[in-house]
Amino acid sequence: MFSDDLDKALATFVLANGAAATGAKVTIFFTFWGLNVIKKVSKPKVSKDIFGKMFGFMLPSHSGKLSLSKMSMFGAGDKMMRHIMNNKNIESLENLRQMAIDAGVEFIACQMSMDVMGVDKAELLDNVTIGGVATYMQRADEANVNLFI
Amino acid sequence: MFSDDLDKALATFVLANGAAATGAKVTIFFTFWGLNVIKKVSKPKVSKDIFGKMFGFMLPSHSGKLSLSKMSMFGAGDKMMRHIMNNKNIESLENLRQMAIDAGVEFIACQMSMDVMGVDKAELLDNVTIGGVATYMQRADEANVNLFI
Amino acid sequence: MFSDDLDKALATFVLANGAAATGAKVTIFFTFWGLNVIKKVSKPKVSKDIFGKMFGFMLPSHSGKLSLSKMSMFGAGDKMMRHIMNNKNIESLENLRQMAIDAGVEFIACQMSMDVMGVDKAELLDNVTIGGVATYMQRADEANVNLFI
């Protein structure tokens, strides 16, 4: 999960949950903008350098702030999409993410992306572990299905 | 095929046709915006709720309306790309799609996306079948090459 | 590599280098906008038709001109990202690309994309070879990990 688009995050968790339902071991590696998908709503205060503060200011502070890749319309489209999904009895992004956690889907945050964007482990969901490209490659090598989203 | 960008749709069908040419069994799963790639030009009248009407109004009504992911320039770039491809004797998106159908490439539309966007099966090309994440996972598990586009 | 976003190009080379470090054979197939990632800074003069000239004028002329997929802010975000990476001692895109070349990562440029965009082989880095969808499919079929970026 490289992106932080609301629609792509939905697809990611639907796929992860679908795969986990078949009994498969599933890992999601969150890198670059994807870190915004797994930030806590209530984050502890952590010290940041000037760049970390800028990223913190400009990027979505948690999954509730994510935008659609298309038709976001300054947030109106995002609200509409969430409203429609609720209306059609489809689980919210946050519920789908929790279902993934409950199903044992592994969440790994990219160390390099955290360094670049000044994100602290304490700002990420509790189940998240940290890894690098070697961790990703090891998981990908073992996987039968592997996507860049 | 998650996206409905003209350029990514072209890549999808070129890849699908290339794989089919090697004798491989090919499936394209159209989800989210990707549904716009397989809508009929002349669609039967179907009843839609308010959301379905809004999506129908805002989204590309068929493949001829797709935009490039870059340099679309309110349609001028899209027209230019189609003109250049024609000029260089490269098949159009619609021809590439038909070639895929003729080569037996399986088209599956995502049930959940159809529900969310209020798309009816009658609005999609005749060869399209309907499936969900379990269908996708089953095909992906059997596949040697699998991409999220 | 379909995209020419600075962030996605960084991810591509980090992944390629990470895979090469494990001893794996790695190929990157550059198609569509991805051609902009492997253009020479100092390009020889080549004759172009009107479309080739237009693409040459509108597209990034080399990797130093690439933009982030988000927060590019007319180039300010791109500069900031490069500054931060340098500040955190992360290799630049150009260094990561050179490391990939030195590690024997194979670079293949898409013939059809070159035709459409009027890009000449002489404008691409010296290590680049040319191929089509059949070349891609052959490499992908042999690969264990395969991503559309």
Of C55, C116, C117, which to mutate for an interface test with B (greatest number of B Cβ within 10 Å)? C116
What domain count does chain C have? 1
Say if C149 falls within a structural domain: no
Q: How far is CA A101 from CA A27, A36, A38, in A?
A: 10, 16, 11
Contacts of residue B118, defined as CB under 8 A and 6 or more positions apart, other chains included, come to: B48, B49, B51, B52, B53, B55, B56
**Chain A partners of C146 at a C-beta cutoff of 8 Å?**
146
Strand partners, C11: none
Global pTM reads 0.96
Look at residue C86 in the predicted model and tell me its pLDDT.
Answer: 95
CA distance C147 to chain A (A): 6
Collapsing DSSP to helix, strand or coil, A32 comes out as helix
Average pLDDT over residues C108-127: 97
**Residues C105 and C128: beta-carbon distance below 8 Å:** no
The structure tokens listed for B107 are 């088209």
Contacts of A3 (CB under 8 A, 6+ apart): A9, A32, A33, A34, A69, A149
Q: CA angle at residue B56 from B54 to B59, to 5 degrees? A: 100
User: Residue C117 — very low, low, confident or very high, per pLDDT cuts 50/70/90?
Assistant: very high
Is A38 within 8 Å of A109 (Cβ atoms)? yes
**Residue pointed to by tokens 């320039």:** B73
Query: A84 to chain C nearest CA, in Å?
Result: 26
Rounded CA-CA distance C58/C64 in Å is 15
Q: Are B64 and B4 in contact (CB under 8 A)?
A: no
At B92 the pLDDT is: 97
Looking at the predicted complex, does its ipTM rise above 0.90? Answer: yes
Report yes or no on A38 lying in a domain. Answer: yes
Please answer whether residues C18 and A134 qualify as being in contact, where contact means their C-beta atoms are separated by less than 8 angstroms: yes
Q: How far apart are CA C22 and CA B55, in angstroms?
A: 47
Task: Evaluate whether residue B148 is within a structural domain.
Answer: no
The minimal CB distance from B112 to the residues A8, A87, A90 is found for A90
- Could you give the angle at which helices B76-87 and B6-21 cross, rounded to 10 degrees? 30
Q: Is C90 on the interface with A (CB under 8 A)?
A: yes
Tell me the three state secondary structure of residue C82: helix
- In whole angstroms, what is the distance from residue A12 CA to residue A38 CA? 12
Mean pLDDT to the nearest integer, A72-101: 95
- Residue A149 included in any domain: no
Q: Cβ contact (<8 Å) for A18 and B134?
A: yes
Give yes or no for C99 touching A (CB within 8 A): no
Give the pair of three-digit tokens for residue A26. 């599933």
Q: Across the interface, do B2 and A8 touch by the CB < 8 Å criterion?
A: yes
Cβ contacts below 8 Å, chain B against chain C, sum to 53
Looking at A10-19, B51-60, C95-104, C109-118, which range is the least confident one? B51-60
A148 domain-assigned: no
Chains near A (3 or more Cβ pairs under 8 Å): B, C
Q: Is B34 a domain residue?
A: yes
**C115: number of CA atoms within 13 Å, CB side?**
13
Residue B132 lies in a domain: yes
Report the DSSP beta bridge partners of residue B107: B28
For residue C10, the domain's CATH number is 3.40.1260.10
Do the domain assignments include residue A115? Answer: yes
Q: What is the pLDDT of residues C35-92, one digit of tens each?
A: 999 999 999 999 999 999 999 999 999 999 999 999 988 899 999 999 999 999 999 9
User: How confident is the model at residue C90, as a pLDDT?
Assistant: 95
pLDDT for C67 equals 97
Confidence of residue A113 (pLDDT cuts 50, 70, 90): very high
Please name the residues in contact with A132: beta carbons below 8 A apart, sequence gap of 6 or more: A110, A111, A112, C18
Cβ pair C51:B147 closer than 8 A: no
How does the average pLDDT of chain C come out, rounded? Answer: 96
Distance, in Å, from the CA atom of A81 to the CA atom of C93, rounded to the nearest integer, reads: 36
> Which residues of A fall within a CB distance of 8 Å from B58?
71
**Shortest CA gap A90–chain B (Å):** 8
State how far the Cα of A36 lies from the Cα of C147, in Å rounded to an integer. 22
CB environment C32-55: b (16+ within 10 A), e (fewer) = bbbbbbbbeeeeeeeebeebbebb
- Using one digit for the tens of pLDDT, what is the confidence trace for B33-74? 999 999 999 999 999 999 999 999 999 999 999 999 999 888
CB within 8 Å: C144 and A148: no
In angstroms, the Cα distances linking A19 to A137, B8, B30, B79, C32 are: 19, 25, 18, 40, 31
Q: Which of C58, C112, C148 sits opposite B148 (nearest CB)?
A: C148
Contact: C85, A116; criterion CB under 8 Å: yes
Mapped onto helix, strand or coil, the DSSP state of residue A121 is: helix
Instruction: Give yes or no for C41 touching A (CB within 8 A).
Output: no
Nearest beta carbon to residue A33 from set C70, C90, C148: C70
Contact between B134 and A8 using a beta-carbon 8 Å cutoff = no
Per DSSP (E only), the strands in chain B are: 27-30, 106-110, 129-131
**Band of pLDDT at residue A19, cut at 50, 70 and 90:** very high
Domain that holds residue C72: 6-142
Mean pLDDT of B76-94: 95
3-class DSSP state of B27: strand
Residue C107 β-bridge partners: C28
C58 reaches B (C-beta below 8 A): yes
Q: Record the tokens describing residue C133, joined without a space.
A: 């969808």
